[in-house]
Amino acid sequence: MEHIGIDVHKKETQICILTEDGKLIERRVRTLAERFGEVLGGRSRARIVLEASTESEWVARCLEGLGHEVIVADPNFAPMYATRTRRVKTDRRDARALTEANVLGAYRPAHRLSDGQRHVRAQLAVRDALVRTRTRGIAVSRALLRQHGYVVPSGGAETFGRRVVALGVPGRVLSEVGPLLALMRTVNAQLAYCEGEIGHVSEQDPRVGRLRTAPSIGPVTAAAFVATLDDAGRFRRAHQVEAYLGLVPGEWSTGESQRHGRITKTGNTRMRWLLVQAALSIMRLRDPRAAGLRAWALRIAARGGRTVAAVALARRLAGILWAMLRDGAAYDPQRWAAPTTPATIPA
């Protein structure tokens, strides 16, 4: 069997082929399906290793359609690049390193999302972009109105435009923020559509419904958690999930010296933010189902501050939600009562 390493980029891709007789063939092609077909379509079945990236999934599917075995590898797995010198980095060297890792088996396959969860993650990404656009528009509008002495009352983002009109500002001032208000009306309509689609997923997927039984976990957070993990069985314990989401403290240890720093913030930024928001909601609201978790977090807040407590609770929530997915169980306040001895976590 031939072994192939592919260094995929947005515009061009480097291909390194090690034939069965030990011959090395290197090609640089445009990152297009037809170009992959021209170079690899007529070859016998080979094992191909490429890094997980934005383009990796469609490239992997294209290559699998050509009859090859494809491994999408975790780029954070250091042994995969053990033969590459750090002094010189080129796409050609990277492709060769991937080929050598392919031969040696020195790679760790990355998880490839199912079609359904990939679609959900795309919807969540679009929703995030719309929310950021609306938030920025509101901030700019508030600043412009304050320059003329008008302060917009607090309220929901969806009703911001109506609150501005209710101020009775002069036409000249209103014309300054008018384009932003018009944009926000469109954004609000598209956000409603996105959230409707996510809500539809919540109704169709029983896993999302079960997660929504947890306190302060709404349809967006629940759908995002299912889409991020995809298969709960690929994690053996809660700590692996917490590390996967970047909610564990970094560590720098050598010899007798051991140092812990801020959380690693690896993995899905959106999911980490949603969990922290859910944790803040639990700390702020007095939901009786979350009384144990809230008391636990407040004890941490008394020692390390509210931010540290929110991150610690977000970490604990990640473990609870994973266990609910693993066991196929709804939230049980008695089962998930917080421990009596809190442990701080750096923020």
- Rounded to an integer, the average pLDDT of 115-125 is 91
What are 123-167's pLDDT values in tens digits?
999 999 999 999 999 999 999 999 999 999 999 999 999 999 999
The predicted structure's pLDDT at residue 86? 63
pLDDT digits (tens, 9 = 90+) for 279-328: 999 999 988 999 999 999 999 999 999 999 999 999 999 999 999 999 99
pLDDT at 253: 72
pTM recorded for the entire structure: 0.84
pLDDT in tens, 60-113: 999 999 999 999 999 888 788 776 666 778 999 999 999 999 999 999 999 999
Q: Was domain 2-104 assigned CATH 3.30.420.40?
A: yes
Q: Which amino acid is at 8?
A: V
Report yes or no: 313 and 235 within 8 Å, Cβ to Cβ: no
User: What does the block give as tokens for 61?
Assistant: 């599917």
| Domain residue spans of the chain | 2-104, 115-204, 219-327
Residue with more model confidence, 166 or 336: 166
Residue 168: how many other CB atoms lie within 10 Å: 8
Q: What is the pLDDT of residue 311?
A: 95
What pLDDT score does 78 carry?
A: 77
Strand segments, DSSP code E, in the chain are 2-7, 12-18, 24-30, 46-51, 69-73, 249-254, 257-263
Give the C-alpha separation, 330 to 61, whole Å.
36
pLDDT digits (tens, 9 = 90+) for 265-275: 988 999 999 99
Q: What is the pLDDT of residue 347?
A: 44
Among candidates 12, 8, 126, 112, which has minimal Cα distance to 57? 112
